[in-house]
Amino acid sequence: MKLAFSTLGVPGMPMTDVVRLAAEHGYQGVELRAHPEEPVHPGISALERADVVEEFKKGGVEILTVAGYVRVAAEGDDRAALDELAGLVELAHDLGAKNVRVFPGGGDQDPAVADATAARRLAAAAPHAAGLGVRILLETHDSHRAGADVARVVGTVGHGQIGALWDIMHTWLAGEEPAASHAVLAPHLGYVQVKDIASAEDTEPLALGAGVLPLGACLDTLDPDGWVCWEYEKRWHPGAAELPGLLSAGREHLLRLGAPKS
């Protein structure tokens, strides 16, 4: 199992410190939140991109994903969504990241309409992503919370550069069992985001193992060589404990859960 954490847990932290945290606590990768309030986003220059690459290279840490906020099923103009997505794909390419994360964002639309919009946009973006060696991953989130929802869209696109990102909190909130989520997502799966929470009503982030999410059951379904990323949502819950102090224990917890069963 290869482990990463998301910079959503350390909002605004300089990349030097992010790399140091990952290396010190035994994480092989980082998922970079790509937003204008963060140090890395599509608006940074070529020189700034090269500096980020060099920082990660020096630390021996991989940039797993550029986590963007394009909502591929949202109402509105296709061109605006595709332009934003192209910018994220180009940023990922320049940083050497394998993936770009996108959200569904279908809102209250008819699910069939939202599916069709998402599939159309992802299909249109796929050739550019393929040319740059980047995979676009649709996350189990919001209007497409269950694995079955995301698999339906990604399967419709049917392109190798369009895959799925399994956020286990959202599939759990959708009432989907881990084995069922994995069964539908496995043909498309990029990697898994783990986290922990107290309940469906209280989603403030907790240390891994301190909450109710079925982390072990999810990890049991996975390829032992795959990536698992801890998405600790500190940005949305400023009162939550600081992530750096939790990283070592979180790593050990994941490794114990992911160890081969005798």
Residue 261 has pLDDT above 80, yes or no: no
Residue 262 has pLDDT above 70, yes or no: no
Render 194-216 in DSSP notation, one character per residue. Answer: E---S-SS------TTSSSS-HH
Domains in the chain: ranges and CATH:
2-258 (3.20.20.150)
Helix orientation angle between 46-59 and 78-95, rounded to the nearest 10 degrees: 50
The set of residues, in sequence order, having a beta carbon less than 8 Å from that of 23 and lying 6+ positions away, is: 59, 60, 61
Digit-coded pLDDT (tens) for 168-210 = 999 999 999 999 999 999 999 999 999 999 999 999 999 999 9
The set of residues, in sequence order, having a beta carbon less than 8 Å from that of 38 and lying 6+ positions away, is: 7, 11, 12, 32
C-alpha to C-alpha distance for 254 and 215, rounded to whole angstroms: 8
Digit-coded pLDDT (tens) for 207-232 = 999 999 999 999 999 999 999 999 99
C-alpha to C-alpha distance for 141 and 13, rounded to whole angstroms: 25
- Establish how many alpha carbons lie within 13 A of residue 22's alpha carbon, considering only the half-sphere containing its beta carbon: 33
Q: What is the pLDDT of residue 260?
A: 76
pLDDT averaged over the chain? 97
- CB of 62 closer than 8 Å to CB of 39: no
C-alpha to C-alpha distance for 252 and 174, rounded to whole angstroms: 28
Assign 259 a pLDDT band (cuts: 50, 70, 90). confident
Reported pTM:
0.97
